[in-house]
Amino acid sequence: TLIDVIAGARPNFIKIAAIMAALEAHRAAGGHLRARLVHTGQHYDQAMSQSFFDELGIPQPDINLGAGSGSQATQTGAIMIGYEALLARQRSAACVVVGDVTSTLACALVSQKAGIPVAHVEGGIRSGDWSMPEEINRLATDAITNWFFTTSEVANANLRAGGVAESRIFFVGNTMIDTLLAHRDRFRAPAFAGDLHPGRYFVLTLHRPANVDCPQVLSQLLHTVCQAAAGLPVIFPVHPRTRSVLAACGPMPVTLRTVDPQPYLAFNFLVEHAKAVITDSGGVSEETTVLQVPCLTLRSTTERPETVALGTNEILGSDPDRLRDAMRRVLAGQWKTGIIPPLWDGQAGTRIVAALGRLLPA
Q: Judge whether 207 counts as a catalytic residue.
A: yes
Task: Identify which of residues 233 and 283 has a Cβ nearer to ligand UDP in the complex.
Answer: 283
Residue with CB nearest ligand UDP?
283
Task: Identify which of residues 177 and 232 has a Cβ nearer to ligand UDP in the complex.
Answer: 177
* Position among 127, 141, 145, 262 found at the interface with ligand UDP (CB under 6 A): 262
211: amino acid identity, one letter: N
Report angle CA 331, 332, 337 to the nearest 5 degrees. Answer: 85
Minimum distance from residue 114 beta carbon to ligand UDP (Å): 27
* Binding of residue 110 to ligand UDP (CB under 6 A): no
Minimum distance from residue 360 beta carbon to ligand UDP (Å): 28
β-strands 313-315, 295-297: how paired? parallel
166: amino acid identity, one letter: E
Q: Report d(CA 56, CA 334) in Å as an integer.
A: 35
70: amino acid identity, one letter: G
Q: Report d(CA 135, CA 42) in Å as an integer.
A: 18
* Position among 6, 10, 106, 330 found at the interface with ligand UDP (CB under 6 A): 10
Minimum distance from residue 51 beta carbon to ligand UDP (Å): 8
Per the DSSP assignment, residues forming a β-bridge with 278 are 204, 296
Task: Identify which of residues 4 and 280 has a Cβ nearer to ligand UDP in the complex.
Answer: 280
Task: Identify which of residues 127 and 205 has a Cβ nearer to ligand UDP in the complex.
Answer: 205
Catalytic option among 120, 207, 223, 239: 207
> Does residue 38 sit in helix, strand or coil?
strand
Size of the site for ligand UDP (CB under 6 A): 17
Minimum distance from residue 73 beta carbon to ligand UDP (Å): 20
Contact stretch for ligand UDP (CB under 6 A) within 189-197, 259-267, 327-335, 338-346: 259-267
Contact stretch for ligand UDP (CB under 6 A) within 165-173, 260-268, 308-316, 329-337: 260-268
Minimum distance from residue 349 beta carbon to ligand UDP (Å): 15
* Binding of residue 264 to ligand UDP (CB under 6 A): yes
Give the CA dihedral 86, 120, 41, 115, nearest 10 degrees.
20
Q: Report d(CA 138, CA 59) in Å as an integer.
A: 27
Q: Count CA atoms within 13 Å of residue 205 on its CB side.
A: 22
| Residue 127 CA: distances (Å) to CA of 28, 139, 312, 326 | 39, 10, 18, 22
303: amino acid identity, one letter: E
Q: Which of 309, 321, 317 is nearest to 129 (CA)?
A: 317
173: amino acid identity, one letter: G
Provide the mask over 192-211, with x wherever binding to ligand UDP is found by CB under 6 A and - wherever it is not.
-------------x-x----
Q: Report d(CA 331, CA 89) in Å as an integer.
A: 57
Q: Give, as ranges, the residues between 266 and 295 that touch ligand UDP (CB under 6 A).
A: 267-268, 281-284, 287
* Binding of residue 349 to ligand UDP (CB under 6 A): no
* Active site (catalytic) residues: 207
Residues that bind ligand UDP (CB under 6 A): 10-11, 14, 176, 205, 207, 237, 261-262, 264, 267-268, 281-284, 287
